């Protein structure tokens, strides 16, 4: 177990290094010159050159990268080009909001996905199953931007149940979390349904039924734990998906997370912020997958046995 | 969907607030103190450091937080005293001496002195600050050595005594007062900059109309009245809260519900006409000319655009009225480089009329009877690609096939500033607006030889020594004595450039739009001030 852990952490470090290198090179390849954007229209070439020097952009790429890595190892993510302030506090200030949103989004997708998936499997091929499957299809295929605006219109603007935007109260998180979770819920419902159908056909389920157990007990206690495994692995992957999704959702709902920060930084080629957000996101994805790997043996004894 | 969305909510909001509406309209026009208002923006506020901030949002906020030696009278392009009670210009136009108003205090309690002025401008020029305004101060003696990193001070800024500061210029600069009214020339206390340890943008200290009370990252900034502001009668509102991260559409919905007072990002183009026509929005839309021209640059160094006849032909090919319709009439067709509000704008000059037949003849004269192929770069945010498509169609009508390259703004800027790369660039959406109301601002950074360089903004790569000499002569004319003559000289320079060389296709002058709640008072000019955008000092709440 310890060896397994050490190997996975080693892999994670390599992945992060790779992400850092690729992002760095990609940003370097952009034709846009941050020094020109910072110096503004009034600048003459001397001023642009002076700023390029200040930013260290006049050094060879490899030196710039090593310099960046050296900083990273000392907890220094560099300074934002546009905000002229340390990147790490900027990200840390916004990270909790994103984590809250992601946690709420995962909660929504798991609860909705499991409920609908199980109901559909138990009532398979009936009208309720059809409706659920159709809804899940709609959920999977709806662009988040559209879902967000629809929810805003119905539940915030028309019915007034939730605030239109903002942050801080539990009511604020509902609509963004549903927007973020609805896509995953659609996937989960479909996956849980097919996994459950398979499990429900197993002999031991028939035995359970034959013992005279209540349907709810057979489904919840005997069948579901065996159908849930792929979901756990998926949540790990979902964290990665969410890192992309939060950019849109945060933008529409005015959620003060790192997605919003990343979006603005990309517009302005603010390399240190883009690098910082990318690395933090990559770290979140790596941790998410690691966590999924660790949880799986506790849920499924077969994995433990390996 | 969205269309009916706004209509219905607008109706609902009207029902809810009918009782209030007549009251709101009853009294208006006399500014009075009081009121707390809410302003929304989509983008977060990057910084409040006056040496650094240079975007639509923070420009207005910085302007209202700091003071400068001179400033514009609200809603106008007319300069007046601010921190300086008076100033003197030497007969040769190379020395400016300012008397600072005594007793003005920073919000940390210390008095503003001449040494603060010197420090602040040196800080704006110092490359270590990495500010976008350094270039404006190039005419002050010592700016070059500071840029080169050879000095940390500028000899050209002299502290005569605590309340007197003198500027020595390398050459006469008719726009020097305009430069001193820019946010970049705002006065900051050195001890607060040092104490912030490189984070002054988040911990600003100034001597302007408002103080920053609270800044919650990604959510809101609260500005409150500066009780010690040296202009006693202002500001009018007690506080303004800026809520960021608000989608423009969401902001408009909230505006209708009365939750918001100013939707800073205005009205999305697709909603503009509908809101304009709707009686529900009467008195809520501010729609004003700004110091802006949107244009196509024609790269004078790339064949066949190096031939003036070809550039003139392209100028005649564009149906500007149709393009203005594409953006729902939010602009006026442009005839020349300068926008109509700019001193030096020539009302009598009508530019190149839309005439595809004549354009084809000119192309034939240039030996391009069958047209040619070219590329036009544009920003990829709506409506810019649609506008570029209209331009593409107009070109096609005279046989010119233009391929569109729609890229993110920084990449368009990079392409334009690289020699020999972009034959044409559509300037829309790239934030080109005058920094100050003087015609020279439309020459130096975008049409002068000095800006036709790698990383420069003269994307026509236009460089004509004859015009260069005329521009220098115009800027050497002393102001205010010969202001009118100087403007006339500049007017002729711009119309001559366009008539002879046509390095641009001036397409339209875009107006800026902002939406405000019905309780907000003050003329349109203070909501879209020519130099401040929103003038937070001058807006007020109707009682």
Amino acid B476: pLDDT: 82
Tens digit of each residue's pLDDT (9 = 90 or more) over A63-77: 999 999 999 888 889
A157 contacts chain B (CB < 8 A): yes
Q: How far is A35 from chain B (nearest CA, A)?
A: 9
Please state the rounded mean pLDDT for residues B197-204.
92
Burial class (CB in 10 A: 0-12, 13-18, 19+), B103: exposed
B431 contacts chain A (CB < 8 A): no
CB contact under 8 A, B218 and A260: yes
* Smallest CA–CA distance from A87 into chain B, residue: B199
Please state the rounded mean pLDDT for residues B479-507.
92
**Domain B292-510 listed as CATH 3.10.105.10:** yes
Percent residues over pLDDT 90 in chain A: 10
Q: How far is A293 from chain B (nearest CA, A)?
A: 34
* pLDDT higher than 80, residue B228: yes
Rounded CA-CA distance B63/B75 in Å is 14
Which superfamily does CATH assign the domain made up of B28-66+208-286+514-543 to?
Periplasmic binding protein-like II (3.40.190.10)
* pLDDT higher than 60, residue B24: no
Amino acid B191: pLDDT: 97
Looking up tokens 């009936």 gives A126
Please state the rounded mean pLDDT for residues A112-123.
87
Helix (H) or strand (E) run with residue A5 in it: helix A2-29
Amino acid A304: pLDDT: 66
Percent residues over pLDDT 70 in chain B: 94
Amino acid B28: pLDDT: 46
Residues B135, B127 contacting (CB under 8 angstroms): no
Q: Which two tokens stand for residue A205?
A: 């389920």
Amino acid B16: pLDDT: 35
Q: Which among A28, A33, A68 is positioned nearest to A48, based on CA atoms? A: A33
Contact list in A for residue B415 (CB cut-off 8 A) is: 31
Amino acid A182: pLDDT: 87
Concatenating the DSSP letter of every residue in A158-215 gives: IS--S-SS-SSSHHHHHHHHHHHHHHHHHHHHHHHHHHHHHHHTSHHHHHHHHTT--H
Q: How many residues appear in chain B? A: 543
* Cis peptide preceding A102, ω within 30 of 0: no
Which residues 6+ apart lie within 8 Å of B124 measured at CB?
B50, B51, B131, B133, B134, B137, B184, B185
Tell which B residues from 204 to 263 touch A, by Cβ distance under 8 Å. Answer: 216-219, 243-247, 249-250, 253-254, 259
Ranges of CATH 3.90.76.10 domains, chain B: 68-188
Q: How far is B130 from chain A (nearest CA, A)?
A: 6
* pLDDT higher than 60, residue A263: yes
* pLDDT higher than 70, residue A235: yes
Rounded CA-CA distance B19/B454 in Å is 60
A129 contacts chain B (CB < 8 A): no
Third-level CATH fold of B68-188: Dipeptide-binding Protein; domain 1 (3.90.76)
Percent residues over pLDDT 90 in chain B: 70
CA B9 to chain centre: 33
Please state the rounded mean pLDDT for residues A71-88.
89
Rounded CA-CA distance B328/B321 in Å is 11
What angle in degrees, to the nearest 10, is found between the helix axes of A258-267 and A271-299? 150
Q: How far is B426 from chain A (nearest CA, A)?
A: 17
Give the nearest partner residue to B132 out of A38, A93, A254, using CB atoms.
A38
Tens digit of each residue's pLDDT (9 = 90 or more) over B5-17: 333 333 333 333 3
Q: Which among B400, B399, B397, B405 is positioned nearest to B375, based on CA atoms? A: B405
| Pairwise pLDDT comparison (B355 vs A248), residue with the higher score | B355
Q: Which among B528, B522, B515, B36 is positioned nearest to B264, based on CA atoms? A: B515
Burial class (CB in 10 A: 0-12, 13-18, 19+), A281: buried
Give the nearest partner residue to A260 out of B245, B455, B457, using CB atoms.
B245
Give the nearest partner residue to A40 out of B43, B135, B418, using CB atoms.
B135
* pLDDT higher than 90, residue B67: yes
| Pairwise pLDDT comparison (B290 vs B186), residue with the higher score | B186
Q: How far is A291 from chain B (nearest CA, A)?
A: 29
Ranges of CATH 3.40.190.10 domains, chain B: 28-66+208-286+514-543
Average pLDDT score, chain A: 84
Which residues 6+ apart lie within 8 Å of A2 measured at CB?
none
Q: How far is A283 from chain B (nearest CA, A)?
A: 22
Amino acid A6: pLDDT: 81
Tell which A residues from 85 to 104 touch B, by Cβ distance under 8 Å. Answer: 85-86, 90, 93-94, 97
Rounded CA-CA distance B299/B343 in Å is 27
Ranges of CATH 3.10.105.10 domains, chain B: 292-510
Please state the rounded mean pLDDT for residues B158-165.
96
* pLDDT higher than 80, residue B53: yes
Please state the rounded mean pLDDT for residues B276-286.
89
Average pLDDT score, chain B: 90
B16 contacts chain A (CB < 8 A): no
Amino acid A18: pLDDT: 92
Amino acid B14: pLDDT: 35
Give the nearest partner residue to B133 out of A42, A264, A266, using CB atoms.
A42
* pLDDT higher than 60, residue B4: no
Amino acid A186: pLDDT: 87
Looking up tokens 């807006």 gives B539
Q: What Å distances lie between residue A225 and A188, B114, B284, CA to CA? A: 15, 76, 58
Q: What is the ipTM of this complex?
A: 0.81
| Pairwise pLDDT comparison (B432 vs A266), residue with the higher score | A266
Give the nearest partner residue to B253 out of A39, A157, A257, using CB atoms.
A157
pLDDT band (50, 70, 90) for residue B215:
very high
CA B292 to chain centre: 8
CB contact under 8 A, A85 and B47: yes
* Smallest CA–CA distance from A270 into chain B, residue: B410
């Amino acid at each position: 177990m310890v060896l397994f852990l050490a190997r996975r952490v080693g892999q994670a470090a390599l992945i992060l290094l790779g992400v850092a290198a690729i992002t760095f090179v990609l940003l370097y390849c952009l034709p846009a010159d941050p020094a020109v954007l910072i110096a503004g229209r009034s600048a003459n070439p001397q001023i642009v050159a002076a700023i390029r020097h200040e930013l260290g952009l006049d050094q060879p790429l490899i030196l710039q990268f090593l310099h960046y890595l050296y900083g990273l190892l000392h907890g220094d993510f560099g300074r934002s080009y546009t905000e002229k302030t340390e990147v790490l506090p900027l990200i840390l200030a916004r990270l909790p909001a994103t984590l809250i949103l992601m946690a709420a989004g995962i909660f929504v997708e798991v609860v909705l996905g499991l409920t609908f998936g199980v109901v559909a499997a138990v009532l398979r091929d009936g009208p309720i199953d059809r409706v659920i499957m159709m809804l899940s299809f709609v959920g999977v295929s709806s662009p988040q931007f559209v879902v967000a605006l629809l929810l805003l219109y119905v539940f915030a603007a028309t019915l007034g149940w939730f605030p239109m935007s903002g942050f801080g109260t539990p009511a604020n998180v509902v609509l963004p979390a549903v927007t973020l979770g609805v896509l995953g819920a659609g996937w989960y419902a479909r996956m849980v349904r097919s996994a459950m159908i398979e499990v429900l056909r197993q002999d031991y389920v028939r035995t359970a039924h034959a013992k005279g157990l209540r349907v709810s007990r057979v489904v919840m206690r005997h069948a579901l734990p065996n159908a849930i495994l792929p979901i756990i692995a998926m949540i790990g992957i979902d964290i990665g998906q969410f890192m992309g999704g939060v950019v849109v959702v945060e933008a529409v709902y005015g959620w003060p997370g790192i997605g919003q920060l990343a979006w603005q930084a990309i517009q302005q080629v603010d390399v240190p912020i883009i690098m910082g957000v990318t690395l933090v996101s990559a770290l979140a994805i790596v941790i998410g997958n690691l966590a999924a790997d660790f949880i799986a043996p506790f849920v499924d004894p077969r994995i433990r046995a390996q | 969907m969205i269309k009916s969305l706004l209509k219905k909510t607008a109706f609902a909001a009207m029902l809810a607030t009918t009782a209030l509406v007549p009251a709101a309209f009853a009294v208006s026009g006399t500014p009075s103190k009081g009121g707390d208002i809410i302003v929304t923006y989509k983008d977060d506020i990057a910084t409040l450091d006056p040496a650094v901030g240079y975007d639509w949002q923070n420009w207005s906020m910085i302007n209202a937080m700091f003071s400068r030696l001179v400033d514009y009278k609200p809603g106008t392009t007319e300069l007046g005293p601010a921190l300086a009670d008076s100033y003197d210009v030497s007969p040769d136009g190379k020395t400016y001496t300012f008397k600072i108003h005594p007793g003005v205090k920073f919000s940390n309690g210390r008095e503003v002195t001449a040494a603060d002025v010197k420090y602040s401008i040196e800080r704006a020029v110092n490359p270590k600050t990495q500010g976008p305004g350094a270039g404006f101060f190039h005419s002050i003696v010592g700016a070059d050595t500071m840029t080169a990193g050879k000095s940390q001070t500028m000899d050209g800024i002299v502290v005569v005594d605590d309340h007197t500061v003198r500027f020595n210029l390398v050459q006469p600069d008719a726009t020097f007062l305009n430069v001193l009214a820019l946010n970049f020339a705002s006065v900051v206390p050195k001890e607060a900059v040092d104490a912030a340890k490189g984070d002054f943008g988040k911990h600003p200290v100034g001597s302007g109309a408002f103080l920053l009370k609270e800044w919650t990252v990604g959510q809101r900034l609260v500005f409150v009245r500066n009780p010690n502001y040296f202009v006693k009668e202002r500001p009018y509102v007690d506080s303004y809260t800026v809520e960021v991260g608000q989608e423009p559409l969401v902001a408009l919905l909230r505006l209708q519900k009365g939750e918001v007072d100013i939707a800073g990002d205005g009205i999305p183009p697709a909603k503009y006409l509908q809101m304009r026509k709707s009686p529900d929005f009467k008195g809520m839309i501010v729609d004003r000319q700004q110091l802006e021209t949107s244009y196509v640059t024609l790269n004078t160094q790339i064949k066949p655009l190096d031939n003036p006849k070809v550039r003139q032909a392209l100028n005649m090919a564009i149906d500007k009225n149709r393009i203005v319709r594409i953006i729902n009439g939010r602009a006026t067709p442009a005839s020349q480089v300068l926008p109509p509000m700019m001193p030096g704008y020539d009302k009598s000059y009508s530019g190149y009329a839309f005439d595809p037949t004549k354009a084809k003849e000119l192309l034939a004269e240039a030996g391009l009877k069958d047209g040619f192929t070219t590329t036009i770069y544009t920003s990829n945010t709506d409506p810019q690609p649609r506008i570029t498509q209209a331009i593409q169609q107009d070109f096609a009508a005279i046989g010119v096939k233009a391929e569109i390259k729609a890229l993110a703004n920084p990449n368009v800027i990079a392409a334009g500033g690289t020699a020999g790369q972009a034959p044409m660039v559509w300037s829309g959406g790239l934030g080109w607006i005058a920094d100050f109301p003087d015609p020279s601002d439309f020459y130096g950074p975008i049409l002068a030889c000095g800006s036709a360089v790698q990383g420069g903004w003269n994307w026509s790569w236009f460089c004509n020594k004859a015009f260069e000499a005329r521009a220098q002569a115009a800027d050497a004319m002393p102001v205010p004595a010969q202001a009118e003559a100087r403007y006339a000289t500049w007017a002729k320079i711009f119309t001559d450039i366009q008539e002879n060389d046509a390095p641009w296709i001036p397409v339209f002058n875009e107006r800026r739009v902002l939406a405000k709640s019905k309780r907000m008072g003050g003329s349109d000019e203070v909501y879209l001030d020519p130099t401040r955008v929103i003038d937070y000092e001058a807006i007020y709440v109707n009682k």
